[in-house]
Structure 1
Amino acid sequence: MTWILGWPLSFLAFVKTQLVLLLLRVLSAGPIPRHVAFEMDGNRRFARLTGRRAVEGHSDGFHTLQQILEICMRLNIRCVTVYAFAIENFNRPPDEVGALMKLAEERLVEIAQNGALLSQYGVRLNVLGHRELLPAHVQVAIEKAEGMTRQNNRAILNVCAPYASRHEITSAVQSVVQQALDKENFDSSTITEQSIEENLMTTLGGSPPLDIFIRTSGVKRLSGFLQWQCCENTQIHMVDTYWPDFRPP
């Protein structure tokens, strides 16, 4: 058994866990944001830094997402939105895209089989984006995972994949215009900022307005993620840490 300052490491790890839980309980008593978004950037660079393949960095990133999601649920945050795969990511090397699709299917199947975290906290899963671009087997896994959580109403997890803000905004405008055309008397005044916002993908399941936007890896731009939602009331934070390392100390 390894000891530090006369204490076994297992005991110190237990104390650390309890202190983190205590801190979360204290924080949850104060003003809490309703909707937090994470642009999970830096998985590939983290993998290169540690001498491993890109897909291993993405796998590490998934485990970080699990930890961050549990923290958010303990803080009673209503909605978490994450950027999992951009439409332009299909331009990456075919072997990396294939590995990512396989990893996505495995994780979705895992959720559909047990979904312990989502079930424990009553989290509804929404996969948002240009889903018809995904392989058929991934689409099937998405439908199963979403169906398993559809009755959950305590919290929401929006996974954006494959996603781009321009596509989301364009789709919302098309929906609003079609709704106006479907009325007996066309009235262009019904096409407003509010009506477009109500047709954005992130409104699915009752997602509230975005309070906090966090991007990891030190890159200081939105890169096509939630560009409409990042309004004047959203706090935007760019942090240097790579996503797999973005976790409690």
Structure 2
Amino acid sequence: MTTITQGYAEFINDLKFEDLPSEVVTDIKMRVLDSLGIMIAANRLDTTKTVDTVVEGIGGVPQCTVVGTGAKLPMVNVPIINGTMAHSFDFDDTHTGTLIHASACIIPTALAVTEGLKLSGKDLITMATAGFEVALRMGLAKPRGCHTRGFHSTSVFGVFGASAIAAKGLKLDKEKTAMAIGMAASFACGVMQCLKDGTDIKIIHAGWAGHGGIMSALLAQNGFTGPSEAIEGEIGFFNAYLSPVEYDINELLADFKKRW
């Protein structure tokens, strides 16, 4: 029987730009522009400057651009800053069925992978589509289920979308893509206690999910492994993050390339 990670890997590996309806392509372009606008506006925030100071201080190979400053950081780290900016105002798009602010994670990750691997605009759109499909389908399987446990849906599900993006960009085969998605379950994080006291940490969740998604794909590329039943397994993601543990398998895997 196909596991959920294997089902996603099949979709991610097979997806081509030519599969995308024109409405999907237009929608992704709009979300790129919207996210960039929010990131640019967020450059002036003190929280952005703090995250930027920390992440730039880590250093590393100058692969990808920090939006608004032109600084260059490693592909795996730049989404931490850009994703934080994209989520800083809560002006980013919201998927009403899941309350996932998907673009804040998906777009910075897709931009990083595109620049870091020197890919094309069509690649960016294709990767972003894969990321949205995986993240939102994960959320729709149990709408708002993680919120009852105090988890932030944007980052908890966003990391799976970010992993899909990076796996697609790295051209991982189906087996390694499934491993990347499996490892992403271990990088899923973000709790919402910050809503009780107004502290800063919520805005970094989306960027951290982008970082975790790219990390999972890079690990898989180099032979590191993750569980094939990471999502639906007895002590896997759904049992850990959703309450009660009931989900719609059709929302997860049905009608790929038919229902976007």
**TM over 0.5, yes or no?**
no
TM range (shorter): under 0.3
Larger gyration radius, structure 1 or structure 2:
1
The answer to which structure has the higher helix fraction is 2
TM-score, normalised relative to structure 1:
0.25
